[in-house]
Structure 1
């Protein structure tokens, strides 16, 4: 039924009342706009949606304030754009707008309202599946967050809308932790419902969200009274963690991985000496993990006899120091590996899109490889059987799973999507102890409760800031068990300075887990091959950070249980708990660890910093003073042995936290 009257129409829809379905302005064209309203109900604040009809577009408002607006070229496909609206009608609970396009094909927009959200879908008649893009105007939306990590080597803006985001391969198969979900400072969320790769760009005042290989663009727009409520809405859609994959010990002390310490220049004697130095410096953790270049060839899953002549003794030495032992492994098998021919001949590899009779080959940082087809149960069993043999033969306790489960240049099998491969990989790796390194699986895999590590970062102050931004983005996408990249960074650069290494350890101590590599005793500059010895107090300062994290273990465990119970993020932006305090919209060097601890570490050069305190009363463990919130502490003293943090009096867990930090 075409909507022609400006008189309020009332209809029942999923338990709510829609009013004013069409409000025609006093203009020559009675179809210049169509508006429907969803009234406030319970915790849902109510909202209005206007369908702009002179050129198809959507504007969302609440209480007269514009919250979200599409750009002038709101809906595009194959180089064409939706244009003038021919009709607006109501079909059941759905408002339907039929529009023309510059390609001469009809575009149909469907908006289905609910109490705190509406579904936005659009399609093109007679157009084959391909790119479908929805474009939003940033100026009316406030700050944009979410989406997860930007690609390795690219800056991570905070908020996203404060910089440039250009992700042409935003995908379920990406190595980056990415989710098709974005949120704004005006408490609106955009969830794009797709199992296919996307293209995401934020620049020049607009957000372009493009779905590939789609016949319909399907999304949900959440409209809430707070950003935490938007987060809860999204978690309600994709699911909360069903468990935590990490053990109590993995939360309480660091995981030590060899990558940034030695990169590929590694051997058995170096690993043992590194582990002994860490133990002597009182910074040892729960596990020593051997990273890249332990294999004879990538994908062989056998030790290189030249550099690791006695793997069983290596594992026994680490066990003798009171730690577990782990190995780095991938799903990619290099062409020069003995296992490549075996996997190829048995049909265990993904096939090429262009020629399904041939294996798909990809180039990665260690050569050219085929990828195990996780859609083939026999291939999965063969791969996991190799891992279990390493455990049985040498006493290996667990694994760091690296690389991706799938590559978009390859063909899927058995009717699977790239997103399906994420779930297959998650199910497979969930059989093993991931040792606090976790697995980088995303795009709706929150329920597994894996630890998630931020992608590799520079060994600089910028790397530290970027890694914290990435960890925060991952956490607020519904993966609460986060850690930074290896403390000190890991991008094959010169080692971090003493100050960067210590400050990074301090920041990581106020997060759910600590992921370490560069020894605060000594390391190697792999760009020159020269040894680097840190000043003697570096190890002591690093050890202090590890002890701080250990003191927080009981509190963190309580937050882990809460995250499993209701999906609460552990590391979260301050505005989640203080939604009216917009000072925190752009602050990236303070966060809340659970409800009671404000982390304000130093992440730049210097020995002072300003600390913005939210409202309330805050206990300072360093000065033993109570500070009144709602103000900024200018020039807070923070010499290299001090990590600024504040306990929120009266918050759950605050009393035990004060005891632990002041003991």
Structure 2
């Protein structure tokens, strides 16, 4: 496919995209999409994908610290077809020493984008949002209780980042109109790691419905059960309505006994607010 050779002997580059034409022969895709990796003068790469109207720019990968001459970085790109739904998968993996920072940026383009981390001020679609090197972990800040490493766009493309990646997310700051995936061995992730990794899959389908169904089947999963019915069947009791933040063990017991003595059954009892060292720690 005319992929570029890489002169840097210290970086192992495995570009198996030439096999895509063979792999997709048995797949009846809507279009004959083919991925291409183009090496730039600075050592980074442009990732493109062929479509009905010609090559389509997907993203700028290998930006920043990976461009050294002797940094022990390995780069692996593989592509394959999905026989059932006619999808195309591109898997990208960077590995290197812990002091190397990886950064791959995917173009928002003109598509509508969804998912990513939950925010207190939630923009929808998310390409209207701005995040600056935002750690992909659940946190009190911004009410970010949900932080799935998954993005879906209106063209039927989705991204899923592997759970072992020390991931930071950037919208529009590192590169305008791009979603940047940054892997860095830094807080809040363990800094005892001896190796850094950026690993993710890109999937391309005919439409976003098929793409999301595929993501649920292969990455996200479905609920395996139902919540305890008492969580929704009976009243929810919160200490906030009675005591605000002035709570201790004595008034908690008094409140619980009052509920019980009033004839209400066992139900959900919420202890609220700011009684922990930090939310979720369970330490006073």
TM-score (norm. length: structure 1): 0.32
Following superposition, the deviation at residue 258 of structure 1 comes to: 2.8
| Secondary structure in 1 matching 2:27 | coil
Counterpart residue number, 1:51: 37
Q: Which residue among 69, 74, 80 is the counterpart of 2:65? A: 80
Residues 132 and 212 in structure 1, CA contact (< 8 A), matched pair in contact too? yes
Kept in 1: contact 2:20–2:81 (CA 8 A): no
* Deviation of 1:68 (Å): 5.4
Give me the whole-angstrom Cα distance separating, in 2, the residues matched to 1:43 and 1:254.
Answer: 51
What residue is the counterpart of 1:258 in the other structure? 238
2:57–2:107 contact (8 Å) kept in structure 1: yes
| 2:52 counterpart residue number | 63
1:231-270 correspondence runs (5 A):
231-238=212-219, 239-247=221-229, 250=232, 256-258=236-238, 261=241, 264=244
Match in the other structure for 2:78: 111
- Kindly indicate whether the alpha-carbon contact (under 8 Å) linking 1:144 and 1:159 is maintained by their aligned counterparts in 2: yes
* Number of residue pairs matched by the alignment: 244
Asked if structure 1 preserves the Cα contact closer than 8 Å seen for 2:133 and 2:169, the reply is yes
Deviations 1:366-394 (A, max 9, x none): 4636xxxxxxxxxxxxxxxxxxxxxxxxx
SS in 1 for 2:184: strand
Q: Secondary structure at the match of 2:214?
A: helix
Does the alignment pair 1:403 with 2:277?
no
What is the CA–CA distance in structure 2 between the aligned matches of 1:193 and 1:179, rounded to whole Å?
10
The residue correspondences of 1:223-372 to structure 2 (distance < 5 A) are: 223-238=204-219, 239-247=221-229, 250=232, 256-258=236-238, 261=241, 264=244, 293=247, 296=248, 303-305=249-251, 308-309=253-254, 311-317=256-262, 319=264, 324-328=266-270, 365-366=274-275, 368=277
- 1:39 Cα offset (Å): 5.4
**1:246-266: CA deviation from partner (whole Å, max 9, x where unpaired):** 53983xx78545366457257
1:123 aligned to which of 86, 94, 100: 94
Q: CA deviation at 1:316?
A: 3.1
Residue 191 (structure 1) shift = 0.3
- 8 Å CA contact 2:102, 2:183 repeated in 1: yes
Deviation string, structure 1 residues 195-241 (Cα, Å, up to 9, x no partner): 34421111231211112335332111111112121112211223221
Matches within 5 A, 1:206-605: 206-213=178-185, 215-238=196-219, 239-247=221-229, 250=232, 256-258=236-238, 261=241, 264=244, 293=247, 296=248, 303-305=249-251, 308-309=253-254, 311-317=256-262, 319=264, 324-328=266-270, 365-366=274-275, 368=277, 403=280
Contact 2:237 2:269 in 1 (8 A): no
Structure-2 change in CA distance of 1:129 and 1:80 (3 Å) = closer
State the secondary structure of the residue aligned to 2:262. Answer: helix
**RMSD between aligned residues:** 3.8
Name the CA shift for 1:51/1:184 in 2 (closer, same or farther; >3 Å): same
Structure (1 or 2) with the larger CA radius of gyration: 1
Determine which structure has the larger helix proportion and give its number: 1
C-alpha distance after superposition, 1:406-447 (max 9, x if no partner): xxxxxxxxxxxxxxxxxxxxxxxxxxxxxxxxxxxxxxxxxx
**SS of match in other structure, 2:124:** coil
Whole-Å separation in 1 of the counterparts to 2:27 and 2:237: 51
TM-score, normalised to structure 2's length?
Answer: 0.68
- Equivalent pair of 2:239/2:271 in contact (CA under 8 Å): no
CA distance in 1 between counterparts of 2:116 and 2:122 reads: 11
- The Cα of 1:80 is off from its aligned counterpart by 1.9
What displacement does 1:69 show? Answer: 1.4
Taking the aligned partners of 1:196 and 1:209, their CA distance within structure 2 comes to 10
Q: Classify 1:314/1:229 alpha carbon distance in 2 versus 1 (closer, same or farther; 3 Å).
A: same
Structure 2 gap ranges (5+)? 5-15, 186-194
Aligned position for 2:103: 133
Closer, same or farther in 2 for the Cα pair 1:309/1:128, shift >3 Å?
Answer: closer
Aligned residue runs from structure 1 range 15-30, under 5 A: 18-19=20-21
**1:39/1:45 contact within 8 Å kept:** no
Bigger relative CO (Cα 8 Å, ≥ 6 apart): 2
Q: How far apart, in 2, do the equivalents of 1:216 and 1:42 lie? A: 34
Q: Which runs of 5+ in 1 are unaligned?
A: 5-12, 21-36, 82-100, 267-292, 297-302, 331-363, 370-401, 406-663
Distance 1:227 1:39, change over 3 A: farther
